[in-house]
A and B are shown apart, each in its own frame.
Chain A
């Protein structure tokens, strides 16, 4: 079962910031939060990941609360091409050794409107 909860859909005006929330209240101390997105008719695309600190790259910023029970993905200036399903994922340890597993949910369908 997914360890994250996201709103099923959101809208955003083109050029404005898109703030996508995610709840992961049962996250453990060594579990990372990953974000991917899936544009229609394409495979998922990695965006960003983090553990405790806020992270930023050329695509987005990830803000993680101090208690790590929730996070927000920020697309600072959304464009029409950012319309996609955004997945917030917790990476869990699932067997002996170093293997970790991404637990996918249903994501948030973001519509960026002109």
Chain B
């Protein structure tokens, strides 16, 4: 596989469920991102990881919990979500840097379409 993959592509869950979204990149990058894309709203950056360290949490509610076990994998753990959390969740990767800067030429996965009932 090449590029950035995300699983599952579609997910329907109840408000009391616990689920996880998975992202994997095969590009040798060291920075990974979670974005939320809601209808009629701009893309919202949620989390950034650079060399497995979280460098950005954009005031995301604690019902979203990211995990980055290594530079190739990124997870988003979901629990007790609300219907307004229904959206397309996009993962992206780019070149990272131990000096802290990250390349903004980002490569995106196809996203997970999440519906919370």
Contact = CB atoms under 8 A, between A and B. Distances in A.
Contact of A97 (B42, B92, B100): B100
Nearest to B50: A99
Contact of A44 (B97, B99, B101, B108): B108
Contact of B97 (A34, A46, A87, A98): A98
Interface in A84-98: 87, 91, 97-98
B42 to A, nearest CB: 4
Interface residues of B, number: 26
B29 to A, nearest CB: 13
B56 A99 contact: yes
A106 B110 CA distance: 18
Nearest to B56: A99
A104 B106 CA distance: 13
Nearest to A102: B104
B105 A43 contact: no
A45 interface: yes
A41 B112 CA distance: 10
29 contacts: A2-B42, A34-B104, A42-B111, A43-B4, A43-B90, A43-B91, A43-B109, A44-B43, A44-B90, A44-B92, A46-B105, A46-B107, A49-B104, A87-B43, A91-B104, A97-B101, A98-B97, A98-B100, A98-B102, A99-B48, A99-B55, A99-B56, A99-B100, A100-B101, A100-B102, A102-B104, A104-B42, A105-B42, A106-B42
Q: Which 8 A-B pairs have the closest CB atoms?
A: A43-B108, A98-B101, A104-B43, A104-B42, A97-B100, A98-B100, A44-B108, A46-B105
Interface of B: 4, 40-45, 48, 55-56, 90-92, 97, 99-102, 104-111
Given A43-B91, A87-B43, A106-B42, 15 more contacts: A2-B42, A43-B108, A43-B109, A43-B111, A44-B108, A97-B100, A98-B97, A99-B100, A100-B101, A100-B102, A100-B104, A102-B106, A104-B43, A104-B44, A106-B41
